[in-house]
């Protein structure tokens, strides 16, 4: 708790410290990135990241998932090499699109599609998408474009250039090790299995070095601080010193918050299985559409499903422990957390 739920700071400071904030478009009652940042940014309100994005030193990009990365993290990942995510025949379309974006400065996909009319493609969900939009997204992933803002949720792009790729094995190893350190600072302490999973997910961040991730994992296990507990090896940043954790609060956490992201660690520490069920058929849900893990002091004891109806916050709280806390201190702390949620959502208390 002490290492992840640090004292609230400015938005830029929190982004730099986290390095990466996972994004999700669902609002229940707010997006995951906002729910994550509200615990770590003083006075944060839902939507602040999107509203202030253009003035912040932060970028939409892929890391271990899609989200927001600091400039320092992005510089470790780019330029992305490896096979291009388009055919050779599409290469001339890519070059023409890049020239168009450079000439126009900022480009909305609709504007580019009206100019080029590349047709449609089948998207990830099996539906139909503009081929131009699809190419813009692929170019963004390759680092040729950056997201400068969003309009009604749609990415608006500008051209982007990166420093040349490092030369030599030692330079590559240094970058890979630095990316592993970002993972461990954000999600640690990690059991060995979770560390391996996260390091291998860096194939999305650096597909050009995917073949070197197993060796990066082996180096990490040698240099990170570690301990064996009940037969499980745990890893955390080397020589880290932590403050004493504050243990008096109730917190409703995002499904992808660093405290609860690692489901293996979650079950080890708190003895029950949390599942993100937004994409689970309603009849098979046990916790709810967008259940927020409920932290009380140093344990996650349940979950909350929150919704805003007619301007009023409604909270349905469930418990995974056999004896839910009934103390006055818990009830007061839960009320205070719901009040903080109302302020975050700009609702009447």
Strand partners, 145: 159
Look at residue 246 in the predicted model and tell me its pLDDT. 65
Residue indicated by tokens 């640090």: 6
**Which CATH code for domain 88-159?**
1.10.10
Q: Is 151 exposed, middle or buried (0-12, 13-18, 19+ CB in 10 A)?
A: exposed
Map residue 229 onto helix, strand or coil.
strand
Q: Work out the percent of the chain whose per-residue pLDDT is above 90.
A: 84
DSSP state of 57: S
Look at residue 85 in the predicted model and tell me its pLDDT. 79
Look at residue 245 in the predicted model and tell me its pLDDT. 65
For the beta carbon of residue 199, count every other beta carbon within 10 angstroms.
Answer: 24
Domain ranges of the chain: 88-159, 169-236, 250-344
Look at residue 89 in the predicted model and tell me its pLDDT. 79
User: Nearest Cα to 158, choosing from 63, 242, 53, 253?
Assistant: 53
Look at residue 91 in the predicted model and tell me its pLDDT. 87
Q: Which of 45-49, 162-166, 270-274, 311-315 has the lowest mean pLDDT?
A: 162-166
pLDDT tens for residues 100-113?
Answer: 999 999 999 999 98
Residue 343 confidence class, pLDDT cut points 50, 70, 90: very high
What sign does the dihedral 269-273-277-279 (CA atoms) show?
positive
Pairwise CA distance, residues 72 & 58, whole Å = 9
Written as six digits, the tokens of 348 are 């009447």
Q: Which long-range contacts (CB under 8 A, 24 or more apart) does 10-16 make?
A: 10/41, 10/42, 11/37, 11/41, 11/44, 11/48, 11/49, 11/52, 11/56, 12/56, 12/57, 12/58, 14/40, 14/41, 15/56, 15/57, 15/58, 15/68, 15/70, 16/57, 16/70, 16/72
Does residue 247 register a pLDDT over 90?
A: no
């Amino acid at each position: 708790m002490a290492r992840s739920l640090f004292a609230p700071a400015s938005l830029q400071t929190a982004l730099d410290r986290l390095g990466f904030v996972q994004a999700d478009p669902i609002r229940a009652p707010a997006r995951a990135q906002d729910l994550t940042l509200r615990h770590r940014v003083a006075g944060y309100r839902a939507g602040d990241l999107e509203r202030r994005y253009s003035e912040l030193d932060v970028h939409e990009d892929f890391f271990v998932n899609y989200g927001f990365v600091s400039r320092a993290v992005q510089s470790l990942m780019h330029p992305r090499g490896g096979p291009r995510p388009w055919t050779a025949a599409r290469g001339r379309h890519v070059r023409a699109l890049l020239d168009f974006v450079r000439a126009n400065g900022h480009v909305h996909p609709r504007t580019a599609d009206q100019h080029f009319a590349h047709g449609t493609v089948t998207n990830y969900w099996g539906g139909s998408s503009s081929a131009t939009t699809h190419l813009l997204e692929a170019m963004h992933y390759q680092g040729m474009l950056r997201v400068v803002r969003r309009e009604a949720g749609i990415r608006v792009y500008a051209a982007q250039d990166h420093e040349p790729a490092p030369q030599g094995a030692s330079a590559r190893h240094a970058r890979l090790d630095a990316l592993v350190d970002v993972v461990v600072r954000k999600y640690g302490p990690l059991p060995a299995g979770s560390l391996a999973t996260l390091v291998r997910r860096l194939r999305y961040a650096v597909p050009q070095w995917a073949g070197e991730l197993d060796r990066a994992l082996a180096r990490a296990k040698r240099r990170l601080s570690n301990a064996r507990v009940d037969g499980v090896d745990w890893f955390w940043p080397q020589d880290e010193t932590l403050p004493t954790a504050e243990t008096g609060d109730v917190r409703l956490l995002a499904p992808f918050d660093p405290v609860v992201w690692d489901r293996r660690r979650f079950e080890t520490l708190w003895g029950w299985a949390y599942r993100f069920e937004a994409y689970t058929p309603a009849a098979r849900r046990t916790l709810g559409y967008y259940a927020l893990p409920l932290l009380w002091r140093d344990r996650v004891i349940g979950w909350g499903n929150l919704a805003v109806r007619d301007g009023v916050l409604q909270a349905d709280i469930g418990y995974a422990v056999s004896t839910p806390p009934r103390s006055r201190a818990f009830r007061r702390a839960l009320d205070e957390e719901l009040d903080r949620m109302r302020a975050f959502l700009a609702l009447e208390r």
